[in-house]
Structure 1
Amino acid sequence: MATANQRRRGATLEPGVPAESGNGIRPFLRHHPVVSYYILVFAISWGGIVLVMGPRGMFSTGATMPMVGGVMLTAGPSVAGLSMTVLVDGRAGLRRLAAGLRRWQVGIRWYLVALLTGPAVTGATTLGLSFSFQEFRPNFVPAADAFGLVAAGLALGLMVGLLEELGWTGFALPWLRRRFSVLITGLIMGLLWGAWHFPMFGGTTDPSGTLPNLLVVVVFLFAWLPPYRVLVVWVYDRTQSLLLAILMHAPISATTFVLAALGSEATSGVPLVIPVLIWGAVLWLIVGVVAWVNGGRLTRR
């Protein structure tokens, strides 16, 4: 029998258990929370983009999608997550979300992992490639402009991280972890996370025509997002901190924004996908090292 402390912990940090049966939408949502959540996310995000931009909005890029399209896309995970939390778990679910947001005393090492993993991988890759490819050498910008660029990137990263992780980590992750390991949970979430980004990469093409456009889009969506999501799941599994998941998401959005703004020339051909493939390889290497250090497993003992 669970102790009083265990019952209190379950009420705030673990998803509830569907409590009712019968016909109708609400019983279905309660018994299939993860499937329902992702259906709702894609409906809100992709449906919103089509509503405000038309079908062509599904084949945009990060540079061509207007702000309203970006807002519609990133609002999907949080709106769906909060809605499903209320429908499935009620006030207990909202308390669980609030507890995760307030959980900040997790140790400095976890903040270093959350804040530095993404920028270190992307920054080191870009720096290394700049010695071999002219396209990856950043433009020089005055100090004042650089400060404004970094500030804009950080603001964007925090906003995107909050809007997405309220749903991805706040709702979907705890439910998936009831059934799957950290690795499998991360893979499921990472693949769906990549597919969800399609409107921001669906219009990406190779200017030289060397690479098929479909190959370019697949690399951009699935080469590095799944391993990074595995690391986010691992960090959350060890800390139970939704705040840390938001902070881990923010730097990758900020770094991508800053590097794109500093790019000196448009890449094409094989150089177009090289950095993304390297990001993925390095992130999978980090996942492997973490598992090796922990005796071949990512799941908390």
Structure 2
Amino acid sequence: MNAGFPGYRIYFPVLVLNLIMGTKALIRKDPVTVYFILTFLISWTGAFLLVAGKLIHHEPVSKLDGILMFPVMLLGPSCSGILLMYVTGGKKGLKDFCVRISPKKAPGKWYPALLIPPSAILLVLVLLSLTLSKEYAPNFFLIGFLFGIPAGILEETGWMGFAFPNMSKRRSALSNSMLLGLIWGLWHLPVINFLGTASPHGTWWFPYFLSFVLVMTAMRVIIAWVYCNTESVFLSQLMHISSTGFLVILSPSPMTVQHEPVWYVAYAIALWTCVLFITAKWSKNLVKKKKPENHRSLIYDSGGSV
């Protein structure tokens, strides 16, 4: 088979080795960019493949299909994060992650931060229901909290476990968390029509998407604030679970597509007000301005360029 290529057995392994070494060099040079590319590739490709048959045959994608797309998309941030932790840090990188994901790493005084999402949601919905319409009255779909658990555990393995700690040293933690929040919001795009209680959103999907991204970006800054002061991925996961879980529990239902973006914008304003308070009190690096000399920050260990 290889008679016409006498050097095949020599050059092919060399080619593969060079490809592997080149890939490793790229990952080490810009791990965060590689992480985002890999995350979107896995999540969006997986979501597309799940409904590809219906899209090809011009059939509508059902709400059940949309729900099933979520667990597939969760593989992107989690698998990419663990893989790149190992590639860039080896066993030491994975061991460090195990420390940061341990409940023992989570200081008890930061657990009250978990009340920020439900408090903000309830405040906004009660005010809107009293001033605009009873349609904004909060719901109590308690089983909805289960939606937040897999999202929080798997997503934060990558977002706060790998991406945020390795983002550029040249920007503040506030800037990095806002950038990560925008990327996080964009990541939801394939399933945006199945989020919220007014889904499908029809021609109102884009206003809803913009309001959703505003919420996600502010929430990412708040999660990053908790992480910067604790270096706890576990607390980041709990913050995500609280955010997603209470959003599902308390979101008004039924809700018209025209009105859902309104309360999301109001919720975003509440969260951004919280962000303003955080930056005023904790600085743009989201930590107290005076830190102990021996404080070990994982935020900028790698120096990735994103």
Which of the five TM-score ranges fits, normalised by the shorter chain? 0.7 to 0.9
CA drift of 1:191 comes to 0.5
Matching residue's letter, 1:25: T
What secondary structure, in the 3-state scheme, does the structure 2 residue paired with 1:267 have? coil
Matching residue's letter, 1:88: T
Contact 1:78 1:166 in 2 (8 A): yes
CA drift of 1:218 comes to 2.0
Find the counterpart in structure 1 of residue 134 from structure 2.
134
Find the counterpart in structure 2 of residue 214 from structure 1.
206
Find the counterpart in structure 2 of residue 194 from structure 1.
185
Task: Give the alignment partner of residue 248 of structure 2, picking from 254, 257, 261.
Answer: 257
Judged with a 3 Å threshold, the aligned counterparts in structure 2 of structure 1 residues 200 and 258 are, in CA distance, closer, same or farther, namely: same
Find the counterpart in structure 2 of residue 29 from structure 1.
27
1:47 aligns with 2:45: yes
CA drift of 1:194 comes to 0.4
Identity %: 27
Q: Deviations over 1:232-280 (max 9, x none)?
A: 11110110111100000001111122234xx3422232x2211111111
1:116 aligns with 2:107: no
Contact 1:50 1:56 in 2 (8 A): no
Matching residue's letter, 1:89: G
**Cα distance between partner residues in 1 of 2:38 and 2:71:** 16
Task: Give the alignment partner of residue 275 of structure 2, picking from 282, 287, 297.
Answer: 287
Matching residue's letter, 2:179: I
Contact 2:281 2:288 in 1 (8 A): no
What secondary structure, in the 3-state scheme, does the structure 1 residue paired with 2:167 have? helix
Q: Deviations over 1:25-54 (max 9, x none)?
A: 121112110000000000000000111112
Q: Deviations over 1:281-301 (max 9, x none)?
A: 111111111222236762443
**Cα distance between partner residues in 1 of 2:288 and 2:191:** 34
Contact 1:158 1:250 in 2 (8 A): yes
TM-score by length of 1: 0.78
Judged with a 3 Å threshold, the aligned counterparts in structure 2 of structure 1 residues 264 and 169 are, in CA distance, closer, same or farther, namely: closer
1:228 aligns with 2:227: no
Contact 1:104 1:241 in 2 (8 A): no
Matching residue's letter, 2:126: L
Moved more, 247-256 or 32-41: 247-256
Find the counterpart in structure 2 of residue 277 from structure 1.
265
Judged with a 3 Å threshold, the aligned counterparts in structure 2 of structure 1 residues 138 and 51 are, in CA distance, closer, same or farther, namely: same
Judged with a 3 Å threshold, the aligned counterparts in structure 2 of structure 1 residues 178 and 95 are, in CA distance, closer, same or farther, namely: farther
5+ unaligned residues in a row in structure 2: which ranges?
Answer: 1-19, 290-306
Contact 1:190 1:229 in 2 (8 A): yes
Contact 1:61 1:200 in 2 (8 A): no
Contact 1:62 1:201 in 2 (8 A): no
Instruction: Please give the root-mean-square deviation of Cα atoms over the aligned residues, in Å.
Output: 2.7
Count of residue pairs the alignment pairs up: 262
Judged with a 3 Å threshold, the aligned counterparts in structure 2 of structure 1 residues 206 and 200 are, in CA distance, closer, same or farther, namely: closer
CA drift of 1:214 comes to 2.5
Find the counterpart in structure 1 of residue 294 from structure 2.
none
Judged with a 3 Å threshold, the aligned counterparts in structure 2 of structure 1 residues 299 and 55 are, in CA distance, closer, same or farther, namely: farther
TM-score by length of 2: 0.77
| Runs of at least 4 residues off by over 6 Å | none
**Cα distance between partner residues in 2 of 1:289 and 1:238:** 15
**Cα distance between partner residues in 2 of 1:24 and 1:290:** 42
Residues 56-205 of structure 1: matches in 2 within 5 Å? 65-104=65-104, 106-113=106-113, 115-131=114-130, 132-138=132-138, 149-150=141-142, 152-176=143-167, 178-202=169-193
Judged with a 3 Å threshold, the aligned counterparts in structure 2 of structure 1 residues 236 and 296 are, in CA distance, closer, same or farther, namely: closer
What secondary structure, in the 3-state scheme, does the structure 1 residue paired with 2:286 have? coil
Moved more, 96-105 or 61-70: 61-70
